[in-house]
Amino acid sequence: MTTITSNNEIDSTLEWYNMESIGLETNFEELYNHIGSLNLEKEEPLISIILPMYNEEKTIKTVLEALPRSKTIEIIVVDDNSTDDSLSEIAKLKSIVNIKILKHKKNKGYGGACLTGIKHSKGRIIVTMDSDGQHRPEDIYSIVKPILDGVADITIGSRYLGACCYDLPTTTRLGEAIVEKLIYILFGQRVKNNQNGFRGFNRKMLHILDDIKYQGYAFATELILKAAMYDYKIKECPIHVYDRKFGSSKINLRKLTLNLFACIFRYYLKKIKMNILRNENKI
């Protein structure tokens, strides 16, 4: 166990579980081959996988067991002050390599948990994915390959380009379609699955996270808008998304809707101001 002295909002312990392979049948051959071709020399991890977690005792152990295992990959779980046995389930694991566990003293929301994990990550590429079992770990390669190849700075997993393995609620599809149109009209970026939590981005982008305003689920849209304003290359990538087998979504639809429109309006005003300043500097 290692002590953290980073900030007062995180409990003072960072736990490491150093474990051996469990022989789970998952296919990461393409990912491992690509990493092997890079001839990495540094000991720092290439990829950091961050899983924000709040009351996912039924799924977190299974999700962690299914992740890729490599010295070049670090796994970070951010417990957003869970009230169930999520941490106890992780403690039962005996066969995973290098899991960092960060625990919030107070619930900070989805975006806040992601930001904590990002702050404590070391990878050149950062991947976030859900801890509820809706994302397929094998799709990590689809997320990181465009970044490794230099064709994207940030990637967003898309069930519309890949597969949605359940009946998607009409309200969810309609909401994403409206946000998609607004982002395209106002910011020139087309991202269909704009609320997906399965994403990757280059570490060089971390500066855009310094003043994040929305630490709930609107974080996903804010990240896209800030990336667009700084002219980073955004790419949607095909993934598989599954229905939750346990529990229910933590999303407050009314709150999310208000935050999304507020976020888009805020950054559109910022974009206008930036354009005005650029034009003034040209004169």
Residue 17: what pLDDT? 38
Which contacts (CB < 8 Å, 24+ apart) does range 263-267 have?
Answer: 263/213, 263/214, 263/218, 263/221, 263/222, 263/225, 264/179, 264/182, 264/183, 264/186, 264/221, 264/225, 266/213, 267/187, 267/222, 267/225, 267/226, 267/229
Q: What are the angstrom distances between the C-alpha of 204 and each of 45, 74, 144, 249, 265?
A: 15, 18, 14, 32, 26
Which pairing describes strands 13-17 and 2-3: parallel, antiparallel, or unpaired? antiparallel
Structure tokens, 280: 């003034």
Listed residue (170, 283, 154, 164) closest to 231, CA to CA: 154
For residues 203 and 125, is the Cβ–Cβ distance under 8 A?
A: yes
Q: What is the CA radius of gyration of the chain?
A: 19
List of residues 6+ apart from 168 with CB closer than 8 A:
159
Within 8 A by CB and 6+ apart from 261, the residues are none
Burial class (CB in 10 A: 0-12, 13-18, 19+), 194: buried
pTM as predicted: 0.87
Q: How high is the pLDDT of residue 2?
A: 32
Q: What pLDDT score does 49 carry? A: 98
Q: pLDDT at position 128, please?
A: 98
Hey, where are the domains in the chain?
A: 2-282
- pLDDT value of position 97: 55
Alpha carbon separation from 24 to 50, 67, 68, 170 (Å, rounded): 20, 9, 10, 35
Closest CA relative to residue 110, chosen from 210, 198, 217, 193 = 217
Q: Which residues of the chain have pLDDT under 70?
A: 1-26, 94-98, 247-248, 283
pLDDT, position 10? 58
Residue owning tokens 């005792």: 57
Residues 133, 66: Cα–Cα separation, whole Å = 10
Domain 2-282, CATH:
3.90.550.10
pLDDT recorded at residue 262: 95
For 223, half-sphere exposure in the C-beta direction (CA atoms, 13 angstrom radius) is 31
Give the pLDDT of residue 219.
95
Is-contact 54 82, C-beta < 8 A?
Answer: yes
DSSP 8-state symbol, 191: -
